[in-house]
Chain A
Amino acid sequence: MEIKILGTGCSNCKNLEKATREAVAELNLDANVVKEEDIVKIMGYGVMRTPALVVDEKVLMYGRVPSVKEIKEMLSK
């Protein structure tokens, strides 16, 4: 599983990265979490609000920071 956090380095982007890492750890997922800070690449996903959560190149959520619990639900689907 390839997880990307899209964001240009604002505090919400860091919060989303932290929450996602927690969710991955709690679910014991074999996932690679990387941050994508390049704005041109971020725009390639069609996202206008950061941060965004991308799993296997599919945008799951954008524009807010969900709770760890909610991220776990998104990742388990």
Chain B
Amino acid sequence: MSDNSHSAGLAYRSRYLLLLLIPVWLLLYKNLQWLTDKFVFDILDLPANKHLTEAVRFFIFEVPKVLMLLTLIIFFVGIIRTYFSPERTRKALEGKSLFTGNVMAASLGIVTPFCSCSAIPLFLGFIESGIPLGVTFSFLIAAPMINEVAIVLLFGLFGWKTALIYVVTGLFIAITAGWVIGRLHLEKWVEPWVYELKAGDHPEDEKLTFGKRIKLGFEAVKEIVGKVWIYVMIGIAVGAGVHGYVPQDFMASFMGKSAWYSVPLSVLIGIPLYSNAAGIIPIVSALIEKGAALGTSLAFMMSVIGLSLPEMIILRKVLKLPLIFTFIGVVGTGIIIVGFLFNYIF
């Protein structure tokens, strides 16, 4: 009894804390540009229209802006995610036909909590309960590529249109690539022990009160922002350097529209590179400003975030090499098509 009243008290306290934080957040966010200018021109007393001033101003404005957006969004996404779990996603996917299954798996991939270190148990759990290989892949492609960190950074540095384009094209790639892999019937390239595995009954879900969900939202902020803030800083610092010092249109010759080969080349370079969205997106945003084409940049981002060497090494435990190469090939082709498409449209 005393235990219950204690946790209830905690929940109310966190809700009050929350109410206080939101107006403070809004006030700060609204006045960030003014505060930055005050700091750069009045306190640091830097001369206007100099490269260094521009770089410093960019850094001092963008870092708090992105971190504030991340904190707010991850908090809410953290709460929403307590209503989703791989176990529930699996249940929702059971017995779905191929195409419907792919669409659902890719969409659920966005909201289901996922960490690449859990990729193997998740893969095994899906396959073991009879979810088709292609549907499982749709989930495995969407989950790391489309996540709240990427969406916040795209929204903060590019605007909502680019963020939306990224989500929609990412979903398209996850759905079609998963569908293609399903149609190719590649079960023979999954390690045989996977299909012999017998998983135990799933343990009961933890019962969560709303107060507990809020607490988990705070924990998500602590964990994710605590991990990515350094990448955000480095990414924006590099971005600030590019912003202030690299001449306009510098990137146009090799990442611009006229260089058709830049799309496949960016994807090829992006596959082995591994960075999370927080590190790569600020750099790409600076590249676009200097003349890199949107499609090429989008393709580069997607291949860096969505396909990575460490993930392939983890997946090697359950997939034979030909399937890993097929996976990279199909997803890479999808990304290249998206890159060309956007270079053509914009």
Residues of chain A at the chain B interface (Cβ within 8 Å): 8, 10-13, 39-40, 42-50, 58-59, 61-64, 73
Contacts and interface: CB of A to CB of B under 8 A. Distances in A.
A14 B55 CA distance: 40
- Size band of the interface chain B makes with A: 20 to 34
Which 7 pairs between the two chains have the least Cβ-Cβ distance?
A10-B117, A59-B203, A48-B125, A46-B200, A46-B202, A48-B86, A43-B199
Given A10-B117, A12-B115, A44-B198, 8 more contacts: A43-B124, A46-B200, A47-B202, A48-B90, A49-B86, A49-B121, A58-B203, A61-B206
Contacts of A50: 117-118, 121
B200 A43 contact: yes
B200 A44 contact: yes
A48 B118 CA distance: 7
Contact of A47 (B193, B203, B206): B203
Interface of B: 3, 85-87, 90, 113, 115, 117-118, 120-122, 124-125, 128, 193, 197-203, 206, 216, 219, 317
Contacts of A62: 203
Nearest to A6: B121
A46 B115 contact: no
Contacts of A63: 85, 113, 118
A40 B318 CA distance: 11
* Majority DSSP secondary structure for residues of B touching A: helix
B279 to A, nearest CB: 18
Contacts of A10: 115, 117-118
A64 B85 CA distance: 12
Contacts of A48: 86-87, 90, 118, 121-122, 124-125, 202
Contacts of A64: 216, 219
Contacts of A59: 203
